[in-house]
Amino acid sequence: MKKIMLALAALVMMFAAANADEAKTVEPQKVKMKIKAKVKGDVVKAKVGITHEMLTYDQAKKKGKEPNFITHITGTVNDKVVYDASTSQFLSKNPLLKFEFKSSAAKKGDILRITYTDLKGVYYDEKKIK
């Protein structure tokens, strides 16, 4: 019975790893983002400003440019996901995001990494949590 449990566990891990790999086929590029994160009691409060045109399909057509907008944003600390947003063309230009996460997931001095995916690639930046 234990063998079956272990085999099942291994299958699940492989499945999860395979799915994660799909998302990581592009090497993330470092870009400048405004990241602020501070421990406040039992949460860490974060504010992220991303410079991005967030061009919708309609806007792109009018300007004769290619549409490009962010589709996913992840916040991670020590490989733990603390922010997970799937997004659309309808976030504002130069998106400003405010969020919190549990301070059980991170402490002062840990590094908050923000990674975003848009129609062209994957980008990230990092900042120490104060």
Partner 1 sequence: MKKNMLKVSLAILAMTGALYAKDYRVLKPKAWTAKTVDAAIEELYGKKTLIESPDVKLNAPDVASNGGAVPVSVKTSIDAKSIAVLQDVNPESLVIVFDQNENTVPNYGIKMKMKKSGTITVVVEGKDGKLYSAKKTLEVALGGCEG
Q: Which residues of the shown chain bind partner 1 in the complex (CB under 8 A)?
A: 1, 4-5, 8-9, 12-13, 16, 19-20, 23, 43, 55-59, 62-63, 71-72, 74, 76, 79-93, 95-102, 104-105, 117
Q: Give me the least distance between CB of 32 and partner 1, in Å please.
A: 19
Contact criterion met (CB below 8 Å) for 93 and 70:
no
Sorted by sequence, the CB contacts under 8 Å of residue 39 that are 6+ apart come out as 103, 106, 107, 108, 129, 130
In terms of CB distance, is 29 or 78 closer to partner 1? 78
In terms of CB distance, is 27 or 92 closer to partner 1? 92
Q: b/e string for 10-29 if b means 16 or more Cβ within 10 A? A: eeeeeeeeeeeeeeeeeeee
Q: Give me the least distance between CB of 62 and partner 1, in Å please.
A: 6
